[in-house]
Amino acid sequence: MDVGRIVDTALQLIDEVGIQALTLRMLAEALDSGTATLYRHFDGKDELLALVADRVLGEVRVPAEELDGLSWREAVTVSAKAFYGTLCRHPNVLPLLAAQVPVGPNGLRARERLITLFLSHGFPLGLAARAFTAIGHYVIGFSIQQHGPGTPPPEEQSQLRDYYNALDPASYPATTAAAEELTSVPLDEEFRFGLDLLLDGLEKAMLDAA
């Protein structure tokens, strides 16, 4: 049986039922196979999940021609948004990316591309490496908080706004005053705002290192 088909099927099941609910028996049944066949390809569920995480990273595609002529900020923004968009399609996989450093083929290629991008724009090696890590942590962390398993649906924002508004303004004057702003900003706009703050910091670090 083709390993790629096994991993693709596992990803489909995780998208449907989540990581904890996935079992090798469930996967084998979806493949019209047996668990013994799966164990010929994987030592266990953990090894399979690592391949699933790398499979998701392989979906993050930014053609090189899209980055040609862009500044490093623009290129990183395009790449980060593509990464975020992919994670939004597979929210149940987010815990895997938070639990381990991706070192599969797709993870390595993504790391190589982004660090090379920073280096090609004059970043010192140390800053390029730390920039890659910071951006990855931001995108994954934002995705987990806003889209991960157990995240309240968007309609609950109105309930949170009502809760903030009901607080004692004498004890929480800033929170009650900002209740609307805390609960009404579209997620894409919030994502871009945080990313821009991070890029502002990297730009300053780059100038300080020059």
Please give the pLDDT value at position 57.
Answer: 96
Is 90 exceeded by the pLDDT of residue 103?
no
Domains 3-42 and 64-209 share a fold: no
Please give the pLDDT value at position 58.
Answer: 95
Is 80 exceeded by the pLDDT of residue 104?
yes
Tell me the average pLDDT across 86-96: 94
Please give the pLDDT value at position 37.
Answer: 87
Stated pTM of the model: 0.90
DSSP states along 8-37 = HHHHHHHHHH-TTT--HHHHHHHTTS-HHH
Tell me the average pLDDT across 75-97: 95
Domain covering 3-42, topology: Arc Repressor Mutant, subunit A (1.10.10)
Tell me the average pLDDT across 37-61: 91
152: confidence class by pLDDT, cuts 50, 70, 90 = low
Phi, psi dihedrals of residue 198, rounded to the nearest 5°:
-65, -45
CA dihedral 133, 136, 20, 34 (to 10 degrees): -90
Please give the pLDDT value at position 151.
Answer: 73
HSE value, Cβ hemisphere, 13 Å, CA-based, for 97: 29
Q: Spelled out in words, what is the top-level CATH class assigned to the domain 64-209? A: mainly alpha
Residue 44 or residue 49, greater confidence: 49
88: confidence class by pLDDT, cuts 50, 70, 90 = very high
Is 90 exceeded by the pLDDT of residue 5?
yes
Which residue ranges make up each domain of the chain? 3-42, 64-209
Is 70 exceeded by the pLDDT of residue 154?
no
User: Could you give the CA distance from residue 6 to residue 12 in angstroms, rounded to a whole number?
Assistant: 10
The fraction of the chain above a pLDDT of 90, given in percent, is 73
CB 27 within 8 A of CB 9: yes
Tell me the average pLDDT across 86-111: 92
Q: Where are the alpha helices (DSSP H) in 70-171?
A: 72-89, 94-99, 105-120, 125-147, 157-166
Please give the pLDDT value at position 155.
Answer: 63
Residue 150 or residue 76, greater confidence: 76
Tell me the average pLDDT across 117-122: 94
49: confidence class by pLDDT, cuts 50, 70, 90 = very high
Least confident of 35-44, 98-107, 145-154, 183-192: 145-154
